[in-house]
Amino acid sequence: MLNATITSFLIDKLHSVSPTIVYILVGLLVFGEAALFIGFVLPGETSVVVAGVIASQGRVNVVDVAVLVVLSAIIGDSLGFEIGKRYGHRLVELPFLRSRHDALERALDGLRRRGATYVFVGRFTAFLRAVMPGLAGMSRLGYRRFLMANAAGALVWGVSYTLLGYFAGHALGSILKYSGWVGIAVLVVVVGLIVVLHYARKRREADVEEAWVKEHPDDESTQGAQ
């Protein structure tokens, strides 16, 4: 209900401003989701879906919106990563984060165990999307690994929700009812793909190793003797 009210308000207001202002506002909202913790007030997919709807009405270009959303997410999360790296332990004591202490600890534990994979998966959950960059900085995850995982997640998330708004057009009731399920579906597909690729890679490595042993039996016996 709250998302529906916010979305209706945003669309109503954005219809009265120029396309340039639409781009600026959407970019700032996506940028600020993690960098400025705006995500606790306005989940990023809401503004992205709104931008997609406006693009479907011809007021802005859908490709430009998708590119803007992805870049804003990457840059904003990079700033959030740096803030978390420098000031993270102070930030978690802020009132609106202190009440979520248990959830933050679980997220940190997930980062320590899964690293970049958890960064990617976190992009599809509203709470994790808002806090993941800062927590990744706190966890001392390398920035290069964070950037690659975060950029991949931002690309899938940004394009998916932009197109969701674009193709759904005026059917806002259906969008808001099922957008959460879309995120879950994307998450399930992505995680499933990661698992399949992981086991496929392991199987290939095992096949290569088995073929090597068959072709070089003397090497194996020599290693066993050693």
Q: Is the pTM of this model over 0.85?
A: no
Between residues 173 and 141, which one has the greater pLDDT?
141
The answer to whether residue 59 is domain-embedded is: yes
Separation between Cα atoms, residue 149 and residue 134, nearest integer Å: 14
- Structural domain count, the chain: 1
Q: How many CB atoms lie within 10 A of CB 108?
A: 18
The answer to whether residue 38 is domain-embedded is: yes
Alpha carbon separation from 165 to 22, 38, 110, 162, 179 (Å, rounded) = 15, 21, 31, 5, 10
Nearest-Å Rg of the Cα atoms of the chain is 22
The pLDDT confidence band at residue 15, using thresholds 50, 70 and 90, is: low
The answer to whether residue 15 is domain-embedded is: yes
The pLDDT confidence band at residue 170, using thresholds 50, 70 and 90, is: low
The answer to whether residue 193 is domain-embedded is: no
Q: How many CA atoms lie within 13 A of 34 on its CB side?
A: 33
The answer to whether residue 221 is domain-embedded is: no
The answer to whether residue 207 is domain-embedded is: no
- Domain hosting 36: range is 2-178
Alpha carbon separation from 71 to 26, 27, 77, 135, 151 (Å, rounded) = 12, 8, 10, 20, 8
The answer to whether residue 93 is domain-embedded is: yes
Q: Which of 163, 176, 147 is nearest to 10 (CA)?
A: 176
Structure confidence at residue 1 (pLDDT): 44
Average pLDDT of the residues of the chain: 76
The pLDDT confidence band at residue 139, using thresholds 50, 70 and 90, is: confident
The answer to whether residue 44 is domain-embedded is: yes
pLDDT value at 153 more than 50 = yes
